Amino acid sequence: MRQVGVCLSSCPSGYYGTRSRSPDINKCTKCGLSNCDSCFNRNFCMRCKAGFYLLQGKCQETCPEGLVPSDTQRECVLDCSAECDTCLNGDTCTKCKAGLYLLKGKCQHSCPVELEPNEQLAECIPKVHCEVGDWADWSPCSRKGKTCGFKRGEETRRRDILRPPSPHGDPCPPTTETRQCVVKKKKKCPERRRGMKRQRNQRREKEGQESQPEPTEAGEVGDREGLESRNKTEHRQRRGHSRDLVLPAGGAVR
Classify 94 in phi/psi space as left (phi over 0), alpha (psi -120 to 50) or beta.
Answer: alpha
pLDDT digits (tens, 9 = 90+) for 114-151: 999 999 999 999 999 999 999 999 999 998 888 887 88
If you count them, how many residues does the chain have? 254
What is the distance between the alpha carbons of residues 152 and 146, in angstroms, rounded to a whole number? 11
The domains found in the chain, sorted by start residue, are: 131-182 (2.20.100)
Which pTM was predicted? 0.44
pLDDT digits (tens, 9 = 90+) for 49-95: 988 999 999 998 988 887 888 888 888 887 777 788 888 776 788 99
- What pLDDT band is residue 252 in, cutting at 50, 70 and 90? very low
pLDDT digits (tens, 9 = 90+) for 154-206: 999 999 999 999 999 999 999 999 999 998 776 567 655 555 666 677 777 77
